[in-house]
Amino acid sequence: MSEINLGITADMHVHLRDGAMSKLITPTVRSGGISICYVMPNLVPPITTKQQVINYHKQLNDIAPETTFLMSFYLSKDLTPELISECADEGLIHGIKCYPAGVTTNSKYGVDPNDFSQFYPLFEVMEKKGIILNLHGEKPGIEEKDEINIINAESKFLPALRKLHSDFPKLKIILEHTTTSEAIELVRELNSDKKEGDDITIGATITAHHLYLIIDNWASNPINYCKPVAKFHKDKKALIDAATSGEPWFFFGSDSAPHPIHKKQVHVDVCAGVYTQCNSVAYVAEIFDKYNKIENFKKFISDNGIKFYDLNEKILAKHKGESVWLIERENKVPEVIANGDVEVVPFKAGDELKYIVEWRKN
């Protein structure tokens, strides 16, 4: 099949930054083939007030009015149950992102995953209002004896996910950018009692780049370095198997996270993040094609995420007049994308991809 209608597409984990970087990157959500995206709140300062949500949404919408931006709060002590309730009722936020302190870009304001109990009053409101808890699932190492490092930080976090689900079985939780076979197994286990038509409360996003990379690919190339880091062959295999399976708890979240090239080409403190937005759909399609699972592609890149987020007709109506089409045609990834103020090197820069996207009126 050389053309597939993907309908309305969704990328449920994007970093669109601020200032000149935001102006460069935000339009590439659409050019990469995505209709609706869920925006991360890790700006400086992080997004923790209603006015910040309103301002950031307006800023993004002014840059790219055809895209739908779903907004989030940054989990912190500044949030209150009343604030969450009010913003949920007004449809301003869809989720709250939890960053364990110190694990990735701008996460110094984050929380200690050993003790989520201080946030339980917030989780109660979120559970009631259908607001999603988005977890960056890595456990920070506090002391050497914890024996936590970038390879095992995700696996060590998984007991915290298990506990949260058991304490709040109706709270929708997403384990973001899963990178290990252990995480995939746990998400399947926590959903093992689900029957067709049941509400799903535990989901997992999978990025484009983790379907390609293992540890060897970033150890010598800072462009491929991100958090959580890509792991081993068995993990990549588990991610590909999960993404292409069509199972409703696995869906696309690119975690596209641009950094200016001068912050990647350094010898110390290389910024973690892979930028994939400009070809997000094409990168993933290539994997589905390679493993002969293209028939499940629409579930991963569209249906499963939209269903998990329970997006209403009002949100979807904006996109009903057009569709994203996946076309089999050579597509060269640019070496760099730039706007005079900032330069970003995309994932697989200079490579030929097998697919490209087109927007067509219905």
If DSSP codes are grouped into helix, strand and coil, which group holds residue 200? coil
Question: How many residues form the binding site for Zn ion (CB under 5 A)?
Answer: 1
Burial of 58 (0-12, 13-18, 19+ CB in 10 A): exposed
CB of 139 to Zn ion, least distance (A): 16
Closest separation in Å from C-beta 227 to Zn ion: 8
Q: How far is the CB of 15 from Zn ion (least distance, A)?
A: 6
Q: Considering the complex, what minimum distance in angstroms separates the CB of residue 179 from Zn ion? A: 12
Residue closer to Zn ion by CB (options 154, 255) is 255
With respect to Zn ion, which residue has the nearer C-beta, 111 or 294? 111
Report in angstroms how near the CB of residue 41 gets to Zn ion at its nearest: 10
Q: Which is nearer to Zn ion, 177 or 319 (CB)?
A: 177
**Please, which residue, 12 or 214, has the CB nearer to Zn ion?**
12
| Minimum distance, C-beta of residue 37 to Zn ion, in the bound complex (Å) | 12
Tokens of 217: 């690919």
Q: Shortest Cβ distance from residue 257 to Zn ion (Å)?
A: 6
Identify whether the C-beta of residue 186 lies closer than 8 Å to the C-beta of residue 162.
yes
CB of 68 to Zn ion, least distance (A): 19
String of contacts with Zn ion for each residue 253-292, x by CB under 5 A: --x-------------------------------------
Q: What letter does residue 138 receive in the DSSP assignment?
A: -
Subset of 217-256 contacting Zn ion (CB under 5 A): 255
Cβ-based nearer residue to Zn ion, 250 or 355: 250
Question: What number of helices (H) and strands (E) belong to the chain?
Answer: 14, 14
- The answer to whether the CB of 278 falls within 8 A of the CB of 351 is no
| Helix boundaries (H) for the chain | 19-25, 28-31, 50-63, 81-89, 120-129, 153-167, 181-190, 215-219, 233-244, 261-264, 280-290, 297-298, 304-308, 313-317
When asked if residue 154 is in the footprint of Zn ion (CB under 5 A), the reply is no
Nearer to Zn ion, 105 or 296 (CB): 105
Q: Which is nearer to Zn ion, 235 or 255 (CB)?
A: 255
Dihedral sign for Cα atoms in the order 298, 41, 218, 352: positive
**What is the spatial distance between Cα 290 and Cα 132, in angstroms, rounded to a whole number?**
33
Q: How far apart are CA 307 and CA 298, in angstroms?
A: 12
Contacts of 348 (CB under 8 A, 6+ apart): 212, 279, 283, 333
Residues 45-64 that bind Zn ion (CB under 5 A): none
- When the beta carbons of 7 and 137 are compared against Zn ion, the nearer one is 137
Q: Which residue is nearest to Zn ion (CB)?
A: 255
Q: Do 148 and 156 meet the contact criterion of CB atoms below 8 Å apart?
A: yes
Distance in Å, CB of 108 to Zn ion, minimum: 15
Q: How far apart (Å, rounded) are the C-alpha atoms in residues 312 and 333?
A: 34
CA distance 286 to 350: 16
Q: Which is nearer to Zn ion, 255 or 303 (CB)?
A: 255
User: Can you say how many angstroms the Cα of residue 311 is from the centroid of all Cα atoms in its chain?
Assistant: 16
Which chain residues interact with Zn ion by CB under 5 A? Answer: 255
